[in-house]
Amino acid sequence: MGVRTMVKDVWQKLAGVEAATGTAVGERKTTMLPSIFTPYNQAGRTGQSALPKPTPANLRKFAETPVVRRAINVVKDKIASMDWQIRVRRGYDAASVADASARLNALRLCLEEPNASDSFRVLWEQVLEDLLVGGFGAVEMEATGDALRPFHLWAVDGATIQIDSKWDGDPAKPRYAQATGQLGREGLVPLLDDELMYVRLNPRTHTPFGLGRLEVAFETVNQFLSANRYAGRLASNSVVQYALWLNEATPEQHDRLIRWWQDEIEGTGRVPLLSCEQKPEVLRFAGGTDADLRLAWQEMLIRLIANAFEIPPMLLGLQEGLNRSTAGELADEAFQSAIVPVAKLLAEHITRDIFAKKLGWREFEFCFNDLESRDETEELQIQTALLHAGVLTVDEVRQMRGLAPLTTGEAQ
């Protein structure tokens, strides 16, 4: 008897279980979401294993405030307006791919006009909005059977998507469900794995949902709105910061002065005239300066919001201590830290979910042309140097720039 057999026997006696000797090769043995670490109810509704996404209403309400809207638009508008292309993936030879040109044109047409009402930018702006706000970007994918337009896409409210945590990878079983808010069977719309693209930002092991950047900044945004609201009331004079002290005034004189001030002076712009034995004294409760507005505290909160969205505070209006060189460095850092990861995540999902999973066309991939270099002159110099050194061909350079390869006559 070997050591391994002895350890197995001891383990079976202690745990009271048998080793999984009959498990099929390649099957998963671990639990996707152990209940001890999962902050959500795995059972979901009766007979279901779907988990709801929390607090979508508060997140979207905060997304409509000026500072957060600016942070979202910095990332969303840049990605949605990027130039993009569809090309043959690495590892495949373009010459050996059947009908490569026709299928590339069909894929581009479907992405440019994903449905009857949306364009490429309109569709993916909705998805990027949900992705940054709550970490849930969802797109419904439906095949058409038409070779010229093989699929249709529709943006879906990611907050209404529930995920089956016990899905075992069977493509015939629903993995997602949309809660429509209706009663009965129409309350949940089941969706297969190849019918819904579900994009998660900051994926984690203890939950099937992603973590949006606004979720990270939620508490900070709440504090900023409270501080901004207080400063607004203070600046508009709705919060009184001083009082009048009348020395040795009788209650009758005190009430008479209040009525006279409210009836004849307050809101009229008249100059008040007082005649009394002792001059009234003004008691101030604050300094009467801009420090009462807590501007430094609001500035620090804006910096925290910028950190949560992984962009420099410069892009949210804080430009103290900046010059041309530092501003350029911060802009490059924002592009690499806030825009490039989200753009690559979106491109990978389009390639995997639409091209490979929905259509079975694994020979093609989607990519953004502006991710490699933000400086057009620098990119041109690199491509020219590689072309002269023989590392790249003219057709490869044209493919990098989203252009079709040259014909035989043009090449000559």
* Contact criterion met (CB below 8 Å) for 136 and 213: no
* Local confidence band at 20 (pLDDT 50, 70, 90 cut-offs): very low
Predicted local confidence at residue 124, as pLDDT: 96
* Contact criterion met (CB below 8 Å) for 221 and 306: no
Nearest to 87 by CA among 410, 409, 406, 405: 405
The structural domains of the chain, with segments of one domain joined by +, span 5-217+337-371, 373-412
Q: Which of 10-19, 71-80, 330-339 has the highest mean pLDDT?
A: 71-80
Predicted local confidence at residue 6, as pLDDT: 66
* Contact criterion met (CB below 8 Å) for 308 and 217: yes
Percent of the chain with pLDDT over 70: 81
Calpha distance 9→5 (Å, rounded)? 6
Calpha distance 35→49 (Å, rounded)? 12
Residues 171-203 have pLDDT tens digits of 899 999 998 888 877 888 999 999 999 999 999
Nearest to 174 by CA among 185, 182, 183, 166: 166
**Which residues, in sequence order, are CB contacts of 324 under 8 Å at separation 6+?**
none
DSSP-derived 3-state class of residue 63: coil
Predicted local confidence at residue 275, as pLDDT: 76
pTM of the complete model: 0.73
**Tokens (6 digits) for 29:** 């043995």
CA distance to 68, 237, 285, 291, 367, per residue, from 232 (Å):
18, 9, 18, 13, 46
